[in-house]
Structure 1
Amino acid sequence: MIPVEAYTRPVSVGLVAGWSFPASVFDPLVRQLRGDGVVALDWATFSADWLGAERQAHAAPIPGPAVWVGWSLGGSLLLEAVSRGRIRPTRLVLIQATPRFLAEDGWPGVCRGDWQGLRRAAERQPLSAAAAFRRRFELPSEPVSNTRLADTEGLDWLARLDLRDQLASIAVPVDIWLAPDDPLVSVDWPKHIELPAHVHVHWFDRGGHAEWLDHSAALARSMISPLADVPGVRSSG
């Protein structure tokens, strides 16, 4: 396996985390990308800075990283930012994310009733709801200490966004990473959209919603150079 340090072409990478998680969840990936101008953000910071109402009046995109990477809710927010013209990356990486989170006829997603149950719990006791959410889906279980990251606004983003048409017509090259045992993001959703040729899907052989944490080196390499053969990963192209 070629160490990431062997690649010399610099990149600028922005990372956006999922609901309830701090930016530090990306520490394993940041370590792989050290020296490449990496910035990690939680979803609430990205939402406020790139999608907030005060930004909508500006026509020009906000300067930012060349490569944007989002996990779960972070990926959905990045797609929304591209759709609005708030970011114009040279590449987008969606890690176990989906253009539409909730299920509907013909679309695999999370049941609206399950989403409503989590939202009610987060509205009452956000930290406890986030901890229970992590336990249920076997996600990294470090204590949730920031109520802002477990705010219902993040869940509302997930319910509101439907970016299937935008992804089908996106001009930005996109890499999508999915896992077959992910209980929150269906591994089959790309079958329901006619994706352009510059959107490539990569599948982990197994794993839950945080499977990417076991593949941080492969993810780092894929951001710096074309994806090579990596054990535990299948690719559409």
Structure 2
Amino acid sequence: MNLLCLHGWGYGGRLWQALVQALPDWQISTPDLDWRLGTLRLADDLARQLKAPTWVLGWSLGAQLALRLAQRHPQVVSGLYLIAASPRFVAGTDWPHGLAEETVMAFRQQFSRMPERVKQRFLALQVLGDVQRAQLAPLLESGQVDADDPSLPTGLEDLLTTDLRPIARPLCPIHLLHGAQDKLMPLAAARWLAERYDAPLEVLADAGHAPLFSSPEQLAARLQALVDD
């Protein structure tokens, strides 16, 4: 089985190393995403590299890219597994399921002055509320890119400005996994996606923004069950 893993903002492909080891019989691609290309060009570039049929696993900003990829190139995507997904990161008058705009603007300004501090704050928010945070924090930290990575500013802008609510539902099966304690992408956002896309949603009560990342064998078992179904 072919699997493409798309990481979130602040990370690189090495984030998926443990999952790759847990699925030894799969052909797994874990690219380092250059957000300077923008999500549309990234989606098109990835589509040219895929061997159909390919399942796509996307986390956080990577989940938004996965949706773009499946919607634009349905011929190469056989299914989506989206972790901590939301169509829009920032709250608005017609979208209550995100971070407050003033919080996001402060986050953007701080990143321009103190990128390392913002990156660490982002990590703290990702593990907040997760019962496995003691094991999860060092795992996520090992997957981070350096604070001076040139793709980070553009990726942050994509995270703060993307709104995927208007796009049509991708044609492939979609499965959602979300932590009930997610402080970055509220559970209500995943429920919105589940209803709009008629997609099954699994909620982990004691998990935050990175559910099952500290248990790659359990994540691998869920993926295997999907393709065996």
- Between the aligned residues of both structures, percent identity stands at 21
CA gap of 1:113–1:50, structure 2 versus 1, over 3 A, is closer
Q: Give, in whole Å, the separation in 2 of the partners of 1:44 and 1:92.
A: 21
In structure 1, the partner of 2:146 is: 145
Question: Equivalent residue of 1:177, what SS?
Answer: strand
In structure 2, the partner of 1:134 is: 123
What TM-score do you get using the length of structure 2 for normalisation? 0.79
Give, as a single letter, the amino acid of the residue that structure 2 aligns with 1:166.
I
Is 1:109 the equivalent of 2:98?
Answer: yes
Q: How does 1:61-210 map to 2 (within 5 A)?
A: 61-64=47-50, 66-85=54-73, 88-107=76-95, 108-138=97-127, 139=137, 140-142=140-142, 144-145=145-146, 147-148=148-149, 151-166=152-167, 169-193=169-193, 194-197=195-198, 199-210=199-210
CA gap of 1:227–1:200, structure 2 versus 1, over 3 A, is farther
Q: Give, in whole Å, the separation in 1 of the partners of 2:47 and 2:34.
A: 19
Q: Which has the higher contact order (CA 8 A, sep 6+)?
A: 2
Whether the 8 Å CA contact 2:85–2:190 is kept in 1: the answer is: no
In structure 2, the partner of 1:25 is: 15
Is 1:39 the equivalent of 2:29?
Answer: yes
Whether the 8 Å CA contact 2:180–2:204 is kept in 1: the answer is: yes
Question: Equivalent residue of 1:184, what SS?
Answer: coil
The aligned length equals 212
Whether the 8 Å CA contact 2:176–2:190 is kept in 1: the answer is: no
CA gap of 1:24–1:111, structure 2 versus 1, over 3 A, is same
Q: What residue ranges of structure 2 are gaps of 5+ in the alignment?
A: 128-136
Q: What residue ranges of structure 1 are gaps of 5+ in the alignment?
A: 1-10, 229-237
What TM-score do you get using the length of structure 1 for normalisation? 0.76
Whether the 8 Å CA contact 2:9–2:156 is kept in 1: the answer is: yes
Question: Equivalent residue of 1:104, what SS?
Answer: coil
Structure that is richer in helix per residue:
2
